[in-house]
Amino acid sequence: MKKILISVVILALAGGGWYFYKKKTARAEVRYASAEVISKNISEFVDTTGAVLPLNRVEIQPSASGRIEQLLVDEGDKIKMGQVLALMSSSDRVAILDAARAQGDEQYKYWQDAYKPIKVMSPLNGTIILKNVVEGQTVGASTILFAISDNLILSANVDESDVGKVKEGQAVSIVLDAYPDNPVNGKVFQILDEGKNQSNVITYTVKIKPNNIPSFFRSQMTANIKIEVARRRDALLIPTVAVTIDPSGKTAVITEVNDKKPVYKRIETGLDEGNMVEVIRGLEEGDTVMFPGKGYRPQTATGGTNPLMPSRPKMPKNAGRALH
């Protein structure tokens, strides 16, 4: 009886080992997907973020201390060089007018005409982006009355590992966070020489001029920016997931599978578009490449039990209680 029990145990262990070996082997089996080498135009982009900023931001300050008598423009107004933005009285004129007002309307009108107000004028064409005063306000020589922007541009921060790819004149796609469905095209027009250290990462400022400035552009708006740093026509493309490393450590693709063993072919890659990558050497249009898909997983019995192992009988609920 003892020998029979030992034999049953050995058989069960052997069966269990075979079952888990087969299960592991089945899981290790790889299914391959395939794709053809296609010819298509491809571009490589540098992705970054930036903000809408004035190309030139000019702050207007009064030539002397005094009082703002009249404001002639408001925020958002388009203005011309030499246009009068406000009228203000100097401190002396304020004192004379206040004294004349107490003597009656005739005296007040006389001194208004005799002592002309100071004209605050725009030094450039642009847009009023800040109005910092109200009529009747007393201001000093250092008070900022207005801020003027001539043109709105994009200022982008480009990592030092990518800035070498960026050149003046390259095409740019701009998408504002506030208007994600209204992309705007532009071009790089300036790359600053001095970098900035931000959290131990060196970035360089790249300035971008929109081809057309839409009406919804506002200073300080955040933008997602794609700079097209390279473009290739009729490039040979394969899925990026198909690029692998052969046993010798070289860049390759799998062209076929023989006896469940992949056959590698070395290639040279070029531009990377994310999901697709360019093949410069090693493949022709119409060739087939293979890459691992989802592994095969066999169906398992409910509960994941081994069918060759005897099931353990269930213990009654009160089996662990002491008898009294």
What would the two tokens of residue 224 be? 């997602």
One-letter amino acid at 178 equals A
* Count of Cβ atoms closer than 10 Å to residue 44 Cβ: 17
Residue 110 and residue 82 in contact, taking contact as beta carbons nearer than 8 Å:
no
62-149: CATH topology is: OB fold (Dihydrolipoamide Acetyltransferase, E2P) (2.40.50)
Q: How far is CA 259 from the centre of its chain?
A: 45
DSSP per position, 219-233:
TT-EEEEEEEEEEEE
Res 76: pLDDT: 86
Determine the 3-state secondary structure of 118 from DSSP.
Answer: strand
Q: Are the beta carbons of 224 and 177 closer than 8 angstroms?
A: yes
Residue 119: per-residue pLDDT = 94
Low-confidence ranges of the chain (pLDDT < 70): 1-29, 294-324
Residue indicated by tokens 């262990």: 13
CATH architecture of 46-54+151-232: Beta Barrel (2.40)
Instruction: Return the pLDDT at 43.
Output: 86
Q: What is the pLDDT of residue 306?
A: 47
How far apart, in whole angstroms, are the C-alpha atoms of residue 89 and residue 66?
5
Q: In the prediction, which pLDDT does 148 show?
A: 93
Query: What does the pLDDT read at residue 317?
Result: 45
pLDDT for position 319? 41
What pLDDT, on the 0 to 100 scale, is given for residue 144?
A: 95
pLDDT at 299: 45
Per-domain residue ranges of the chain: 46-54+151-232, 62-149
Q: How many CB atoms lie within 10 A of CB 169?
A: 7
pTM above 0.85, yes or no: no
Residue 248 pLDDT: 93
